[in-house]
Chains A and B, each alone.
Chain A
Amino acid sequence: MPTALDTIDVIDHAAGLLPGDALHGARRVRAKVVEASQASHDALLLQPVDGLSPADRLRVAAHVCTLAGAPSLEQHYADRLADAPDCAEPSSPALPAMLAFAAKLTTDPRLGDRAAIDALKRAGLGDAAIVALAQLVAFLSYQLRVVAGLKAMRAGQEGTR
């Protein structure tokens, strides 16, 4: 199981947590959260979506992490992109619109408006692809905050023990 005490997931990896660390164990008290966070990551990157290739999703994810100042997650998504089967294929003509949407959503959620959705539609994305893109970017805001909080907790423990 992905929550076994001797495994590390993407959040552990990005936060620098190893099996045996107190925080690695404390996360597993909420095993359902650990499992659903990793399963969300996997579904958001890999579920087939018309008009939204896995490589373009990884490009969006790396860009979001750059903007948000989350270098360990940025590295994770850049590494995944380098290994993606479709990484050598050209990106979608809609990628600039996707990156612009992702940037607004990441840096200030109150900038969201109907015009941003219409820009994605004009770039050729259907409703199902827009939902997938919004879920991915919104999830990243969650994931990078969990990682940042765990890193801050870890820093405090290293300072006192």
Chain B
Amino acid sequence: MSQNFSERNETLLDQAVAARLAKLRSLPTDTARIDRLIREQIPAPVAQQRRYLTQHPFQAVAASLLLLSSIVAVVLLAVSSGPVLAEPLQMAKVHEDIVAGRVPVMQVNSIDAANRMLNTESPDSPKLPNVPDSHVMACCMKSVQNKQMACVLLKNDGVPITLAVAHAADMKLGPAPIVTKDGVDYRVQAVGDLNMVMTTHDGKWLCLIGKLPSDRLMDVASQVRF
């Protein structure tokens, strides 16, 4: 009888461990570096492109010029434009893409490591603040209308939260209900079951997104230290 109990207990423990390990499968994985290394050695098939270039050299040159002028136009626009608005839907998608591993991210386990990684990728990236009591999982750079945003995926009480940071001069706080907590104004919004709070802090624009009550998100936001 007690042997049966012990076996059943063992089975339950085994199942619990197996289930917890299976969750590691959904951890976001950064493949940017390996992608670059592999593409250098195995270029993607370009047979058709090559054929086009040999058969239509003038069109190819014209297309290149057009592409170049488009890039210049986009760069000029980005440099000249003022602060932009990060729409809640856009921010919700950023969070969902990071959590689902649909975008390349870098696995990190501290804010310092995240800042180092992001700085290597993009030297002008906004610095991420420290967030005590949150477990750091991954980071990446995103942009809204060419304004850079440093994003870090945190886990707070087991719930994934994305913290996006940009220069305050680059981002506008959109029209949304304002909640004041401990003297700080937060714009509070929701998309489906995702809540998000936005605020400015030390010359930075902050946005926290996750399936946590907005109150809790504000608590996390109040802990950030630049």
Tell me if chain B binds chain A.
no
- Which residues of B are interface residues toward A (Cβ below 8 A)? none
| Chain A residues at the B interface, C-beta cutoff of 8 Å | none
